[in-house]
Amino acid sequence: MIQRQQITGVILAGGKSSRMGFCDKTLIKLGGTPLIEHVIRNSSNQVGQLVISANRNSEKFEYLELPLIPDIKQAYAG
């Protein structure tokens, strides 16, 4: 059986957000809290480590104190 500590969760926070009017959907607030914080809170106890994959506006995620990794494809291939 795979242990939780062996699993890395990746939060996909890249993309252009064109369907959201180019507003970064991970930072849209739900109940006063950014969506990405809801994702972190609800998934952190299921994985050993969480990382955020983002190219654009990655500095906005630094306060979360999670590793930031860039997308390999730079063209927002979706």
pTM recorded for the entire structure: 0.80
Instruction: Give the per-residue pLDDT at 13.
Output: 86
Which residues lie below 8 Å from residue 77, measured CB to CB, with a gap of 6+?
none
Domain with residues 4-69, CATH architecture: Alpha-Beta Complex (3.90)
Query: What 3-state DSSP class applies to 69?
Result: strand
Q: How far apart are CA 65 and CA 75, in angstroms?
A: 26
Instruction: Give the per-residue pLDDT at 78.
Output: 52
- pLDDT tens track of the chain, all 78 residues? 999 999 999 998 877 777 767 677 888 899 999 999 999 999 999 999 999 998 777 888 999 999 999 877 665 555
